[in-house]
Structure 1
């Protein structure tokens, strides 16, 4: 559908926003209706078949503060599943908006918006450019492709796509080897700063004496070996993105110094009294769990709030069972080319053995295992015997054979059965309780022949 033939309903309790959107949309669309009261949604949708409902996520606590948007989204979808919903939210509600996408929203916009972006989003939804499943098969991070089509990775891709164009600070959480650095790079490469510097710093590896000089820079003579002026990494990232990896490993004194810089948006090099303004997009990463970051004896809460406008949790490989085959083929192709070998075919036992491994080292471990297999194999077919796990890796391997307590598929199947029985087969309620989409639940029901 084209924009000029569209009927749009806007629901927001802010009269100024309703006026602004009415003025913006009226010359462009067939019909635009605005209303301050979400309780009128039922009657409005009964009278008119709107193509799009633009819905605010907060209505002064009429339903459940912070969740009003989800409530009314579900209400709209129950009235007409074909009505597209675009959510409007503030930075603080982005996680809630991501949940809204899982619940069936077509897109969301962050306030304040740019008119061009607003119209572009509406056109995208009307043109059905978003696939029905909402799936993104991969995401580019510079020259590297983040591979994944499992539900948990699709959620990550959607979040990156939404957060990247904003200026929100992002905290990337995940175990070692999950690819947090690739997520950071993808955020930069899909941002408005993509043509500016991307500076990565492993702050956890900086000693106390190097922390300030490396990050903030120094003037000649500031200390014994300071033979010339040197810019710090904050300055090097100016107008671009600064990625602070292993942020959870810095001590409280370093955290205080970092917080001061982030609050003031300026750095003062060692040996100088003149502050230098900085313009950066900040991305941080850590393998610490959120509980550790909330312990003020280890990490300042005010710094957590400063760096964590939005968090992205990168799932471990053991939760990405459906991605293992795709990742395996990718890495084998890479290493076959690197070591001048012919292309390989994979025996079914090869993949089966990989899927029985718990991968405590995640994607990085998979990568090293496959590199070793490609190097040591003489034939053109990779078999289960070609997979050799080190003693460290093998100690973490969980057999899926004859031990149902460790069988993740069996655990997932039983969990789905339990929830379906509890909700008397209601797919919508069951999907919501399981934290997945209806489509994802249907795929699992088909997979397990439930």
Structure 2
């Protein structure tokens, strides 16, 4: 079991309640962070996994039905199946707290609480969390939430929730940077195989020996076949014959017609019982600005920079441009803005957005994705003392994908 200081997140819009919990738990040697609402909570969770989450169920003034808290509870458990969530409620909310436990919460605490009882409940939660992680093979996914409120991303989360607990093979398709690796990880960690290995086979560089090794390593767990359409034709039959043991999750950048042309019928039949299509960011109405605010807050906290709002014209630009590199490109642009911006607000120039010749359109960010990607990868590797697994988790990449980029950029 880990001997590190327990990390606790308190999600409560009542500043006094959050402060009281923080002071009590810090006196016991715990590391405590606070968030006043769900968006702030996702920022804190993007930094590192926590052991226990203390969750208030109501955030908007006058709300008492717990709808906001229940929605967040569902998302927290979907993002980390080992999450330990303790609901904090008033005396009148005991029935709601019991309902929350039926929805996945571990325990509940009644306000105003008894300090000894709260401390004992949190300590039990820490022990439970660490026991879960000790039994698990795969580490929790840092920043593992599929954020967004658009209709398409809401339907996507619902589809993942329905498909993940099954044994069905899944084909995850979408353009570069839309989150295929994250979706594969979420499917695995929400399945009955979550405590078994999650192994990635890089189809582009695969050979017979690699297929045999990776399939054997994934037995009982899940096998992610990354960029399956790039598997050499000569290996299609061999892969199709071998993938009976693990749960198979394949990814591709191609559409259905492209997949039918690139992958043999026998292999495709074994891969696409369920197809999940990830929308480009341009089709996720409103999500670009939501994600931009999230990433700006994450990187400001990570790099020790002050939190700053986005200027109105920059907000409009973020919402309107196409983002050809999707969420990955947006994330890179926001980290660049945090590192280089120095005004009271984030401006168009900070985010490298400038009006195009046609005033009705806006140009995409004027930055070299390759140059910025190299910078971000180098920074992540240094932050984690060149631990490739941890750097890959932070960057939202598989180890194989990160190794490919390290080789490409000479890192």
Query: 1:199 is paired with a residue of what secondary structure?
Result: strand
> What's 1:94 paired with?
none
Q: Does structure 2 conserve the Cα–Cα contact (< 8 Å) formed by 1:137 and 1:147?
A: no
Equivalent residue number for residue 247 of structure 1: 228
Aligned residues: CA RMSD: 2.8
Contact 2:171 2:272 in 1 (8 A): yes
Asked if the contact 1:356/1:399 (under 8 Å) is kept, the reply is no
* 1:357–1:399 Cα contact (<8 Å) kept: no
Separation in 1 of the partners of 2:205 and 2:302? 30
- Contact 2:215 / 2:242 at 8 angstroms: preserved in 1? no
SS of 1:243 mapped into structure 2: strand
Cα distance change on mapping 1:399 and 1:179 into 2, 3 Å: farther
Query: Size of the alignment, in residue pairs?
Result: 234
1:342 maps to 2:306: yes
Match of 2:342 in 1: 378
Distance verdict in 2 for CA 1:212–1:317, change over 3 Å: same
**In structure 1, distance between residues paired with 2:160 and 2:347:** 36
Q: Given the superposition, is the C-alpha separation of residues 350 and 402 from structure 1 closer, same or farther in structure 2, using an over 3 Å criterion?
A: closer
> What residue in structure 2 maps to residue 425 of structure 1?
none
SS in 1 for 2:171: strand
Q: Residue 351 in 1 paired to residue 315 in 2?
A: yes
Change (3 A) 1:188 1:147: same
In the alignment, is residue 402 of structure 1 matched against residue 360 of structure 2? yes
Matched, 1:161 2:151: no
Does structure 1 residue 282 correspond to structure 2 residue 248?
yes
Counterpart CA distance in 1 for 2:190 and 2:357 is 40
Distance in 2 (CA, whole Å) between partners of 1:365 and 1:311 is: 25
Work out which of the two has the higher radius of gyration on C-alpha atoms and give 1 or 2: 1
Give the direction of change, closer, same or farther, for the CA distance of 1:329–1:309 in structure 2 (3 Å limit). Answer: same
Match of 2:287 among 294, 306, 323: 323
Cα distance in structure 1, aligned partners of 2:358 and 2:307: 30
Contiguous gaps of at least 5 residues in structure 2? 1-64, 81-140, 363-411
Note the residue ranges of structure 1 that are not aligned, 5 or more in a row: 1-127, 217-231, 266-278, 405-450
- Using the size of structure 2 for normalisation, the TM-score is 0.53
Structure 2: distance between partners of 1:309 and 1:257? 19
- CA–CA distance in structure 2, aligned partners of residues 166 and 192 of structure 1: 8
CA deviation after TM superposition for structure 1 residue 380, in Å: 3.8
Moved over 3 A (4+): 128-131, 134-139, 397-404
